[in-house]
Amino acid sequence: MRSIALHAALWWLLLLAGATFAPAGEAASVVIADLEFKPSTVTVRVGDTVTWINRDFVEHTATSRNGVFDVATPKTRPAHWRAQKVGDFSYYCRLHPNMTGVIRVTR
């Protein structure tokens, strides 16, 4: 009986840990609203996918300043980019350059 309770407690701990620390390959989300990337900085690991969800009524892009990615973020569907190397990727919207953000990629 004690063993079952211990196992259940371990499962709960694993579930909680999974919710807090997403493993490599999981997604990090950036919401676009009122012409802002929210959050403006996200940290992911190599292999993770960043998803942008555009809630504005105009279209945007997520374009890195060093040319690594240029993702169209339409109003109709989420847009994705998979982080493939370590670094800080400063990005902006090509259509509205007053919108800026940073993707921080770690190992």
Partner 1 sequence: MKIIAPIVAGFIFATNFSARAADTPTDPQIAHIAYTAGLVDIGYAEIALQRSKNKAVREFAMEMVKDHKAVNDKALALVKKLGVTPEDNATSQTIASQAATKRAELRRLSGPAFDRAYAENEVAYHSLVNAAVDTQLIPSASNGELKDLLKVGLKIFQGHQQHAEHMAERLSRKHAASKE
The footprint of partner 1 (CB under 8 A) covers: 34-35, 56-59, 93-99
Specify the residue, 28 or 36, whose C-beta has the smaller distance to partner 1: 36
User: And the tokens for 86?
Assistant: 């370590």
Rounded to a whole number of angstroms, the minimum distance from the CB of residue 65 to partner 1 is: 13
CA distances from 83 to 19, 59, 80 (A): 20, 23, 10
Contact 37, 60 (CB under 8 A): no
Compute the distance between CA of residue 82 and CA of residue 26 in angstroms, rounded to an integer: 10
Specify the residue, 75 or 82, whose C-beta has the smaller distance to partner 1: 75
Specify the residue, 7 or 65, whose C-beta has the smaller distance to partner 1: 65
Compute the distance between CA of residue 3 and CA of residue 9 in angstroms, rounded to an integer: 10
Specify the residue, 46 or 53, whose C-beta has the smaller distance to partner 1: 53
Residue matched to tokens 């919710």: 19
DSSP 22: P
